[in-house]
Amino acid sequence: MGYPNGLVSVSPGKQPLFSFGVITDVQYADIPDGRSFLGVPRYYRNSLLVLQKAIQNWNNRQSISFSLNLGDIVDGYCPKEQSLEAVKKVVKEFDNFNGRVYHMIGNHCLYNLPRSKLLPLLNLPSADCAYYDFSPIPEYRFVVLDAYDISAIGWPDDHPHTVEAVNLLNEKNPNLEKNSPDGLVGLERRFLKFNGGVGKDQLKWLDKTLQDATKSNQKVVVCCHIPLDPGATSKESLLWNYDEVMDVIHRYDCVKVCLGGHDHKGGHSVDTCGVHHRVLEAALECPPGTNAFGYIDVYEDRLSLIGTDRMASTEMDVYVPDFQLAMSGCNLKLYPFDLIYLLVLVMMIRR
């Protein structure tokens, strides 16, 4: 069956177009188990076993063409003298996967190593830039954002991006301890030092990339360590300028799914323009014997996340009726089918 926007519905038994693996927040450290600030147990050594299990699982499937690491591979509590070796150790584990691994940077990676030392270890398409895009098949594009582009962590102290981040934190967060949300109200609670923002150049690049994807009739998956939608995460784990990033994303209708990490409990929402936001559950919080990783089967009309243990499975449709998008203010054209539906809707309301 065809949809008005040209998408084709796929029966559940049909083969996916391609599949890819997902894991986030491994936060490995060779230290005893501990707890988060909120008292949630953290299993620093076991997380490496979770990663090994993930890679074994992806390799056994053979159909997994690449994998995404959503960031935070080594924990901030890792002793500093071990940071370099710990990062190398986790990257080496990822290298056991029989396909390409696309890495993202997270705050914990940057507690351990400055960007100049971290980025060259992550096999990024460009060793000095943490945002990039790639197309596994011509119909799909993945856009990887650098959530710590504007950040008080990772850049040299006198770097303009550090200065911009420090100024923003001073303006938005009156606490002496900038990781404390005390007194901050509602969405303002995101202005914490362990979060970050997407800079102006990166925003321009995102706009150009989505414009290009639209011209090429590609569907897009946006990946970012820090979540982009308040509905999918706690207010304390949101990108500083999530609204600016989403404004760019909503200018186009090519982005279907945004994937994130950072908020360890995970989450899922569908925003007003029909974009799915799936924040993935952390590997770090898996008690020994449990796991949190998965793979995503991509079909014409949906992305199907098949999670293991603590990672919840999620169906994400990539078809949203255009009348719904138009009514929610998204910048989309209406199709005749939608106009008829709208007309019927209006007539029913008037009765």
Contacts with Zn ion, residue ranges (CB under 5 A): 72, 106-107, 262
Give 26 or 330: the residue with its C-beta nearer to Zn ion.
26
Instruction: Name the residue with tokens 């029909």.
Output: 274
Give 19 or 237: the residue with its C-beta nearer to Zn ion.
237
Residue 221's SS3 state is: strand
Least distance from C-beta 259 to Zn ion, angstroms? 14
Count of beta carbons in the 10 Å neighbourhood of residue 180: 16
DSSP state letter for 74: B
Give 108 or 268: the residue with its C-beta nearer to Zn ion.
108
Give 25 or 297: the residue with its C-beta nearer to Zn ion.
25
Alpha helices in 229-320 (DSSP H): 242-250
Least distance from C-beta 290 to Zn ion, angstroms? 20
Least distance from C-beta 112 to Zn ion, angstroms? 12
Q: Which residues touch 235 (CB under 8 Å, ≥6 apart)?
A: 181, 186, 187, 189, 190
Cα 28 from Cα 108, distance rounded (Å): 10
Give 26 or 318: the residue with its C-beta nearer to Zn ion.
26
Least distance from C-beta 63 to Zn ion, angstroms? 29
Residue type (1 letter), 333: K
Least distance from C-beta 107 to Zn ion, angstroms? 5
Least distance from C-beta 266 to Zn ion, angstroms? 13
| HSE-up of residue 170 (Cα within 13 Å, Cβ side) | 7
Give 141 or 161: the residue with its C-beta nearer to Zn ion.
161
Please list the residues that pair with 64 across neighbouring strands: 19
∠ CA 172-175-180 to the nearest 5 degrees? 95
Report CA torsion sign: 181, 292, 106, 256: negative
